[in-house]
Amino acid sequence: MARRRTTVSFTTPVVVLVASYMAVSSGTWAAPVIGMPGCETRCGNMSVPYPFGLGADSRCYMPGFNLTCDHGRLLLGNLRVIESIDPNFYMLTVVHTGDVRTDGAGRGIFGEGGVLGDDGPYALSSAGNQLVLVGCNVRATLRSGNVTMSSCSSLCTNGFDGHTEMLSRLDTSMLCSGIGCCQARVVVDREELVPVTSYDVQLEYFGSNRSRDGKRWPPRVFVARDEWFSPWSVSQQLSSDLQAAASMEVPVFLSWEVIVRGAYDHGDDAGSLPAWECPRDAARMVCKSNHTGCTKRERGGYTCYCKTGYEGNPYITNGCQDIDECENSKENGCFGKCTNTDGSFQCECPHETRGNAYSPGGCFSVLTREQHFHYLIWGEKYIDIDVHG
Ligand SMILES: *[C@@H]1O[C@H](CO)[C@@H](O)[C@H](O)[C@H]1NC(C)=O
Ligand SMILES: *[C@@H]1O[C@H](CO)[C@@H](O)[C@H](O)[C@H]1NC(C)=O
Ligand SMILES: *[C@@H]1O[C@H](CO)[C@@H](O)[C@H](O)[C@H]1NC(C)=O
Ligand SMILES: *[C@@H]1O[C@H](CO)[C@@H](O)[C@H](O)[C@H]1NC(C)=O
Ligand SMILES: *[C@@H]1O[C@H](CO)[C@@H](O)[C@H](O)[C@H]1NC(C)=O
């Protein structure tokens, strides 16, 4: 998959990423394996790659990664998975239903009764989520343990009901201005984070008459993916039906990681590693395929990826397979003779031509005068010279 502009010389053949061995993989093509042997890996039109799995057989998934398939709907506890799961990417888009319920004291829990337990593999992602609040003279704060992850305040002026005012004050980008509604990014500070993944919401009222404010524009708080909240459509729904919030479908980004008990913070080389690098024993335990890399994640767990030049599922034996870059050689930047290798490819000008095989029309049968001139002066050390003939 290497896409690179290279410095090229006429005297050496062009080779990108010299692979450890040059085995040309060809011929035997097997359907990519994404799950454990004998395990169901489809639900409706969604695929379920290991470490995720379906059913009762605990061989089919890692602890905490069991999903259920309900008539083609892929479920993670009470959350619905709505985008296909990529085993090389540590995020999951799920939909949860409704706003965060708060009690008389303004306290609520996001993800209550769900999968965001303290020991589980899932957490609210540190990218792509926001806290959204509609209401009058109220502040919402989202916390994980004692760490504040987001907070914003919404004001209303006297004599207005909140949603009319909210609509009149929206800025041109359709973001809340803090009048009638507010929104703020969810931020996860890795340095401060303690291993807690339950999320508390606290509402604080600062108007002079809370019951009046509550009637004008009952406060609703949501945790949602960045692009979900459109003040216009949400306000339409909420102002026509105060109960609508309870049934709104709200997408949210979760991150996931494989928590290996006892495998981190000790082990052969843990102390000397950069924060994101996996100790070798943990990497071996989690990233089962050859040609994988391992990343240490926010809560001390791990995720894996297939290295450049490979694709597939890094969590299963032989899951990362060589990519045949020559199938789409032009997309991979090769305009000459392409030869697939294990993990890479070679690109050369065809026999009896020279030049830059990485550039369209870059191979020439003979040296032009200008090229010859450059060649004489610069020898091997140049290129991407302009070749106008
Ligand atoms: C996963 O399996 C455990 C134990 O078998 C069960 O308690 C839990 O509800 C399952 N989770 C999901 C999302 O199905
Ligand atoms: C599955 O089907 C639904 C509804 O037809 C569609 O919205 C969704 O994008 C599809 N997902 C995938 C992964 O193909
Ligand atoms: C937050 O809680 C953790 C663990 O409970 C504690 O170690 C830490 O000192 C607390 N931090 C603050 C700022 O209170
Ligand atoms: C608060 O507003 C309500 C009307 O919503 C009113 O009945 C009540 O008297 C007000 N309370 C105070 C202390 O002003
Ligand atoms: C995986 O890598 C190991 C060690 O480098 C090697 O011995 C083994 O043959 C490889 N397996 C495959 C299927 O390539």
pLDDT of residue 126: 81
Which numbered ligand comes closest to the C-alpha of 145?
3
Ligand 1 pocket test, candidate residues 66, 69, 74, most atoms within 8 A of CB:
66
Cα 133 to chain centroid distance, Å, stands at 25
Range of the domain at 389: 7-26+324-389
- 102 and 247 share one domain: yes
pLDDT of residue 75: 93
- 312 and 240 share one domain: no
- 142 and 218 share one domain: yes
pLDDT of residue 12: 36
Total-model pTM:
0.76
CA distance 192 to 54: 35
pLDDT of residue 112: 73
- 213 and 310 share one domain: no
Tokens read off for 40? 């169901």
pLDDT of residue 369: 62
pLDDT of residue 185: 93
Q: What is the mean pLDDT of each run of 10 residues along the chain (389 residues)?
A: 39 35 41 85 93 92 93 91 92 92 91 75 89 92 90 82 66 70 85 70 91 85 89 73 83 91 52 71 89 87 92 93 90 90 90 87 73 63 45
CA distance 295 to 127: 17
- 203 and 148 share one domain: yes
190's torsion region: left (phi>0), alpha (psi -120 to 50) or beta? alpha
List, in order, residues 6 or more apart from 284 with CB less than 8 Å away.
none
pLDDT of residue 198: 78
Q: Is 318 in the pocket of ligand 5 (CB under 6 A)?
A: yes
Which numbered ligand comes closest to the C-alpha of 207?
4
Strands 79-81 and 249-256: unpaired
Q: Is 145 in the pocket of ligand 3 (CB under 6 A)?
A: yes
- 182 and 207 share one domain: yes
pLDDT of residue 214: 84
Q: By the 8 A CB rule, do 193 and 299 touch?
A: yes
Which residue CA neighbors atom 9 of ligand 2 most closely?
Answer: 83
Q: Is 78 in the pocket of ligand 1 (CB under 6 A)?
A: no
Q: Is 3 in the pocket of ligand 4 (CB under 6 A)?
A: no
- 241 and 104 share one domain: yes
- 119 and 225 share one domain: yes
Q: Is 146 in the pocket of ligand 3 (CB under 6 A)?
A: yes
Tokens read off for 144? 């994980």
pLDDT of residue 44: 92
